[in-house]
Structure 1
Amino acid sequence: MKKLFLTLAALAISAAAFAQVEIGLKVSPAVSFLRASSPAPASFQGGGSKLSFGGGVFIDYFFGENYAFNTGLFLTGKGGNFNYIEKNNSPYPIADYRNGQKLAIQYLEIPATLKLFTNEISPATRLYFQVGGSLSFPVSTRINGDKFYTDPYNGNVQTAASAHVFAVDANLIGGLGVEYQLGHSTKALAGFSYHHGLVDLDRYFKKNRGFQDVSIKNSVVALDLGLKF
């Protein structure tokens, strides 16, 4: 037990001695879309994607020459289109039809990922691979471009768009890119990442409309452009 403790202590001391922190800024133009589903008769499904944008500050905490823990604080755009079958409950002979919404959400996002760097593939150039996750908290929500939604199929009740989405989102993140040394302490990076939402966002259709087993989740494909100082 004593030998094990001494070994772990030595590893911790060596990691701390090597520890290096790099701070940078990143912008991420992206394509976001929604994965929607439900059983019949509502038959929710995803529709078109939307252009989104994210950006913020990040930190790479190196605990080895080629390994870093990555975190930061980002303002990230997500959302997209979805549609579903609206049943005719009126006495008039109107057929059921597909209704749709465009959902746009801005999140405050905190990632926690591992970045794995290769050795130099050419002078001052390394590839990196990124895996991990993030937690996101909505700060602004719009439905069809508005902050409030009036539902004609629910007595024209008006609700805040923010009340339609869950208060937290969790994502799996996978990415890859290239990092280039520009100067003594300045580096540029460019890459792609995919953010796979795990949380069902819906807080409206099951609660207020009585639809069963509705699931609406985020997905984002982003171009990551950054600069370290």
Structure 2
Amino acid sequence: MTFDFAKAREYMVEQQVRPWDVLDGRVLDVLARLPREAFVGERHRALAYADLELPIGHGETMFKPVLEGRALQALELQGGEAVLEIGAGSGFMAACLGSLAREVTSIERHADLAEAAAARLQAQGLGNVSVIAADAFAWTPGRQFDAICVSGAVDTLPSRFLEWLRPGGRMFVVQGRAPAMEAVLVHGEVNGPRTESLFETGLAYLAGAEPPAEFKF
């Protein structure tokens, strides 16, 4: 029996993503069109559309589909933006961003994940997405971006990420400490960044952005 990925994709959009207040038609269209299973390892392919964080190696996981939908909707991409993704992972979120924006630069600290993500994106014909093997805390883009998507939680938002955001730009990030993490949209404004709270959630930390270790006596 062949697994019906198209039907699973339809169920994901209609029964997971849309009910979680993702109503942007362009975002729903991208999630309904892109083959998420092509970005998942063979072992987990049948779970590609489940409401789960799927493992992708090195202890990393993919966003749940609902979180992908909410992040994409929050960024309000109109098609002309230059986007930075911090944490390429499987490459699926970069594929979504690339389908909604003009160009995407995605960085990934694990070289093998970066290489696999780039190959998957190329296989989908997404020539406007480039994946760079780099650590966000050692890399300098030399430019700013209209939108930034941080694909891992931060204890506090690193100032270097804010420097990469163009005035008038938007950054999606999950910040704080469990169990009180929240997804926020940071607006780059003339008088300094303005943070808009979106919803509560939980997410693994971006490497290098974890809370400092607490000494216990």
Query: What band does the TM-score fall into relative to the shorter chain?
Result: under 0.3
Structure with more strand by fraction: 1
Give the TM-score taking structure 1 as reference length. 0.25
Structure number with greater Rg is: 1
Q: Which has the higher contact order (CA 8 A, sep 6+)?
A: 1
Q: Which has the higher helix share?
A: 2
